[in-house]
């Protein structure tokens, strides 16, 4: 997220003041100011190009910046984030976009040069497990805090979520969870709101969902903390909405190649055959998008897995969809996975 203060200017400031402020911004892509009125409501934007055009039209450098500003500035509304608009801005090379609330105050800035998108979901990261298969590495350190490259596994995931504009993040902790809490704190250092769910007993892969009182957003992303992935969360979210499903699971394609011809038979009669076929199966990727209303199905303070929810929903005739992950994905559960992650991270852009 951008530091808002260096990108805002009072409407009574002069164009000369605006040029000085613009000149202090580090790159050309960032050289946009947003003009605020006396109530700190946004009323326009201004660039050095706006000021140059104004001077060519006989305006004075000492005039107030509102004389030069563009009142038709582009913005996003906090409560109505529009992915179509974001795609439109990106196509037009508009990179710095204010996100405003109903009172027209800027709540944050979206920089499409450094962020992928802003999707209106809350997140829950399951980070309570001990990581038995990774012992002795996890004897003193919880698995999510093991470093892959320069950062702990869980930080890769938090930063990936943040790069898609997800700000409300819950982390469910148990085994040595105080290390995770000390590391992230309340999330303010990353301009996030991080809260913690303390599991008194193991709650499975989804049980912590039943301990959260209220999510800010209508939709919730739940994920395991020991996954290394560069999944496109915006595409996942769009797929989920378009599917009309109550629950959408990120799935991992797994291909099985048969080195022989496979016969299709009935009563010892060959009906057809396929020469060395390849079959694709899909496994659970440990990342889920759901409507927050599904919290009602999760029992409070009881062991409850994502597979329990899936089975219950399917038995009730509710739609459960899956989203094939074609990007990088690795479940770091074993020593060989951990070693693979150390090599892969050198070439991954997360």
Give domain limits for the chain. Answer: 4-111, 121-344
pLDDT of 350 over the 80 cut: no
Structure tokens at 65: 């910046």
pLDDT of 247 over the 80 cut: yes
Number of C-beta neighbours around residue 198 at 10 A = 12
pLDDT > 70: percent of the chain? 99
Q: What is the pLDDT of residue 339?
A: 92
Q: What is the pLDDT of residue 246?
A: 92
Distances (CA, A) of 51 to 41, 60, 338: 21, 9, 54
Asked if residue 184 lies in contact with residue 167, where contact means CB atoms within 8 angstroms, the answer is no
Helix (H) or strand (E) holding 33: strand 33-36
Q: What is the pLDDT of residue 1?
A: 47
Mean pLDDT, the chain, rounded, equals 89
Span 74-128, pLDDT tens digits: 899 888 888 888 888 888 888 889 999 999 999 888 888 888 889 999 999 999 8
Say how far apart CA 153 and CA 148 lie, in whole Å.
6
Q: What values do phi and psi take at 213, rounded to 5? A: -70, -50
Could you give the strand order of the β-sheet that contains 168-173, starting from the edge strand earlier in sequence?
193-198, 168-173, 121-127, 219-224, 278-291, 247-257, 320-324
Average pLDDT score over residue span 132-140: 89
Average pLDDT score over residue span 261-271: 83
Span 153-202, pLDDT tens digits: 999 999 999 999 999 999 999 988 899 999 999 998 998 999 999 988 88
CATH architecture of 4-111: Roll (3.10)
**Which CATH code is given to the segment(s) 121-344?**
3.90.550.10
Residue 78's Cβ-count burial label (10 Å; 0-12, 13-18, 19+) is middle
Q: What is the pLDDT of residue 29?
A: 65
Q: Which of 94, 70, 84, 73 is nearest to 118 (CA)?
A: 84
Helix (H, G, I), strand (E, B) or coil at 157: helix
Span 314-340, pLDDT tens digits: 999 899 999 999 999 999 989 999 999
Asked if residue 167 lies in contact with residue 193, where contact means CB atoms within 8 angstroms, the answer is yes
Q: What is the pLDDT of residue 43?
A: 92
pLDDT of 221 over the 60 cut: yes
Helix (H, G, I), strand (E, B) or coil at 59: coil
Structure tokens at 166: 């997800």
* Of 180 and 254, the one with more pLDDT: 180
Structure tokens at 231: 């999944």
Helix (H) or strand (E) holding 264: strand 262-266
Helix (H, G, I), strand (E, B) or coil at 219: strand
pTM equals 0.84
pLDDT of 42 over the 50 cut: yes
Q: What is the pLDDT of residue 2?
A: 54
């Amino acid at each position: 997220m951008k530091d808002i203060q260096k990108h805002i200017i009072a409407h009574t400031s002069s164009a000369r003041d605006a040029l000085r402020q613009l000149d202090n911004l580090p790159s050309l892509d960032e050289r946009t100011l947003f003009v605020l009125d006396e109530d700190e409501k946004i009323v326009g934007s201004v660039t050095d190009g706006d000021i140059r055009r104004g001077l060519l039209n006989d305006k004075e450098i000492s005039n107030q910046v509102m004389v030069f500003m563009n009142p038709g500035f582009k913005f996003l509304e906090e409560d109505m984030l529009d992915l179509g608009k974001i795609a439109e801005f990106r196509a037009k090379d508009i990179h710095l976009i204010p996100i405003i609330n109903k009172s027209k105050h800027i709540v944050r800035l979206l920089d499409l040069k450094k962020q992928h998108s802003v999707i209106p979901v809350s997140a829950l990261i399951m980070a309570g497990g001990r990581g038995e298969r990774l012992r002795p590495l996890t004897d003193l350190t919880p698995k999510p805090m093991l470093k892959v490259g320069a950062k702990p596994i869980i930080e890769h995931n938090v930063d990936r979520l943040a790069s898609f504009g997800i700000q409300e993040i819950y982390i469910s902790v148990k085994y040595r969870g105080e290390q995770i809490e000390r590391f992230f704190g309340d999330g303010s250092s990353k301009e996030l709101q991080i809260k913690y769910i303390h599991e008194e007993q193991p709650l499975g892969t989804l049980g912590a969902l039943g301990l959260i009182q209220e999510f800010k957003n209508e939709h919730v992303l739940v994920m395991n903390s020991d996954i290394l992935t560069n999944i496109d969360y915006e595409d996942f979210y769009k797929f989920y909405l378009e599917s009309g499903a109550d629950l959408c699971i990120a799935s991992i394609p797994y291909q099985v190649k048969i080195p022989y011809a496979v016969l299709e038979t009935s009563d010892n009669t060959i009906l057809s055959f396929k020469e060395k076929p390849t079959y694709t199966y899909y496994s659970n990727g440990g990342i889920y998008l759901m409507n927050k209303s599904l919290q009602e199905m999760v029992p409070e303070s009881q062991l409850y897995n994502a597979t329990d929810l899936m089975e219950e929903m399917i038995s009730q005739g509710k739609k459960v969809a899956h989203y094939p992950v074609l990007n990088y994905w690795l479940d770091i559960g074993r020593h060989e996975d951990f070693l693979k992650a150390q090599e892969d991270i050198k070439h991954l852009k997360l």
